[in-house]
Amino acid sequence: MKRQRMMRGAVAVALLALGAGSVQAQVVRKQFAVVTRLGTLTPERSASIDAQALIGLDAEFAFGKYFGLGTALDIARGNTHREDFVQRLRFGNPAVAGGDTIYYQYLGQPVNTLNISLIGTARLPGKRLSPYAMGGVGSYVLIMDAQTNGKATNMSGMSYTAGAGLNIRFSEKYGMQLDARALSLQKYQRGKLDPSAGRFPNAWFPEDIPAPPAAKSTALGTALTLGFRYVPGAGN
Residues 70 and 148 occupy one common structural domain: yes
Convert the pLDDT of each residue in 137-161 to its tens digit. 999 999 999 988 888 999 999 999 9
Number of domains in the chain: 2
Residues 109 and 1 occupy one common structural domain: no
Is 236 among the domain residues? no
Q: Cα separation of 211 and 206, whole Å?
A: 6
Residue 85: band (very low, low, confident or very high) from pLDDT cuts 50, 70, 90:
confident
Convert the pLDDT of each residue in 164-181 to its tens digit. 999 999 998 999 999 999
Residues 206 and 223 occupy one common structural domain: yes
Residues 3 and 45 occupy one common structural domain: no
Does pLDDT of 8 surpass 60?
no
As to burial, measured by CB atoms within 10 angstroms (0-12 exposed, 13-18 middle, 19+ buried), residue 7 is exposed
CA-CA-CA-CA dihedral for 219, 48, 55, 74, to nearest 10: -30
Residues 16 and 81 occupy one common structural domain: no
- Tell me what the mean pLDDT of segment 182-204 comes to: 81
Residue span of the structural domain in which 161 resides: 31-230
Residues 134 and 214 occupy one common structural domain: yes
Is 235 among the domain residues? no
Report the CATH number at residue 94: 2.40.160.20
Convert the pLDDT of each residue in 25-71 to its tens digit. 323 456 899 999 999 999 999 999 999 999 999 999 998 889 999 99
Is 77 among the domain residues? yes
Does pLDDT of 209 surpass 80?
no
Is 166 among the domain residues? yes
Convert the pLDDT of each residue in 112-128 to its tens digit. 999 999 999 999 999 99
Residues 38 and 21 occupy one common structural domain: no
pTM value is 0.78
What are the DSSP calls for 47-112, one per residue? G-B--EEEEEEEEEEESSSSEEEEEEEEEEEEEB-GGGSEEEEEES-TTTTT-SEEEEEE---EEE
Residue 94: band (very low, low, confident or very high) from pLDDT cuts 50, 70, 90:
low
Is 88 among the domain residues? yes
Per the DSSP assignment, residues forming a β-bridge with 109 are none
Residues 4 and 42 occupy one common structural domain: no
Is 70 among the domain residues? yes
